[in-house]
Amino acid sequence: MISTLLRSALIATLAWGLSAAAHETAPPAAPAAQLTVSGAVQQPLSFSADELRRFPAEQIVTLQLPGRDAGAPPSVLKGVRLRALLERAQIKTADHNTVKKLAVIASASDGYKVIFSWSELFNAELGDSVLVLFERDGKPLAPAEGPLALISGKDLRTGPRHVKWLQSVDVRQIVD
């Protein structure tokens, strides 16, 4: 019995690891070309990379991240703050306390998901650098990253909340 439980746990752990590794290495068969913003919003929206490039200049952000390898030049990323997209979609709030109960879930077309709280995005410095990316080093994102991606540029380790092939952003109330 114990060996069966251990074997099941090992298989589940390996499957999760392979899923996370797959997100890091191979694009899905058909990367998402549109980003949808939905859930607890007044106006569900959809954006392409070209539509994001046409956002007002003050909403387009350039972020510089150190090179991944020692001695590599920094990457210059360009995108729109996730907060600006959520403001455009108009998050639904019953009262001023509702926002404390909201989670924002960014999902890739391969199923990878990351979560932000409303407070992280709207009430902390971190929100200034959570970007929906459409450009890296002056060029559209590489096919391995997808037409759109998301990154949390102030995280100590940017990898866990780097969503390649960004497909959707869903606002959910997680507590009644």
Angstrom distance (rounded) from CA 83 to CA 80: 8
Report the alpha-carbon distance of residue 79 to residue 129 in Å, rounded: 10
pLDDT of residue 49: 94
More confident residue, 59 or 1: 59
Is the model's pLDDT at 35 over the cut of 80? yes
CATH class of 2-173: alpha beta
pLDDT at 32: 52
Question: Does 7 or 108 have the greater pLDDT score?
Answer: 108
Contact 109, 163 (CB under 8 A): no
The domain limits of the chain are 2-173
Classify 153 as helix, strand or coil. coil
Rg (CA), the chain: 17
pLDDT at 24: 55
Mean pLDDT over 19-39 rounds to 64
Average pLDDT over residues 1-26: 43
pLDDT in tens, 91-133: 998 888 888 899 999 999 999 999 999 999 999 999 999 999 9
Q: What is the mean pLDDT of residues 128-144?
A: 95
Looking at the chain, how many residues does it have?
Answer: 176
Q: What share of the chain is helix, strand, coil (3-state, %, to 5)?
A: 30, 30, 35
Q: How confident is the model over 49-91, as pLDDT tens digits?
A: 999 999 998 899 998 888 777 778 888 999 999 999 999 999 9
